[in-house]
């Protein structure tokens, strides 16, 4: 589901707004609803990758808890590095694989 798709604009978004408005007085329920809607939105595109976002949330939650106990720039840098590593892996792995295949094809082709 894309942000500019009809299903998002005319179904998902209005339902989430209505539910949030109905639950806004109950802060915990509204929070759970927003998190659930976000995970549903993410899983609608590719349910197999839902574990990636849940794992990222758990890792970030753990780092926040650690940073509240001990303010350490090294710990902050490690958390940022892990997040960028996950992002880089899922964003660029296929791109790099395609470039390697293309480079091998060019290098393996006979010269005229």
Q: Is the pTM of this model over 0.85?
A: no
70-96 tens-digit pLDDT: 999 999 999 999 999 999 998 888 887
- Which phi and psi angles does 97 have, rounded to 5°? -60, -45
- Got the DSSP string for 34-98? HHHHHHHHHHHH-GGGHHHHHHHHHHHHHHHHHHHH---HHHHHHHHHHHHHHHHHHHHHHHHHH
pLDDT in tens, 48-71: 889 999 999 999 999 999 999 999
Residue 66 near residue 75 (C-beta atoms within 8 A)? yes
């Amino acid at each position: 589901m894309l942000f500019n798709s009809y299903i998002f604009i005319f179904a998902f978004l209005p339902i989430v707004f209505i539910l949030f408005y109905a639950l806004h007085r109950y802060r915990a329920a509204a929070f759970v609803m927003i998190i659930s809607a976000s995970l549903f939105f993410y899983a609608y595109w590719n349910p197999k990758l839902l574990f990636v976002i849940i794992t990222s949330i758990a890792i970030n939650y753990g780092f926040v808890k650690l940073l509240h106990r001990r303010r350490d720039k090294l710990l902050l840098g490690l958390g940022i590095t892990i997040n960028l590593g996950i992002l880089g892996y899922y964003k660029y792995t296929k791109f790099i694989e395609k470039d390697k295949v293309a480079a091998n094809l060019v290098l393996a082709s006979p010269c005229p």
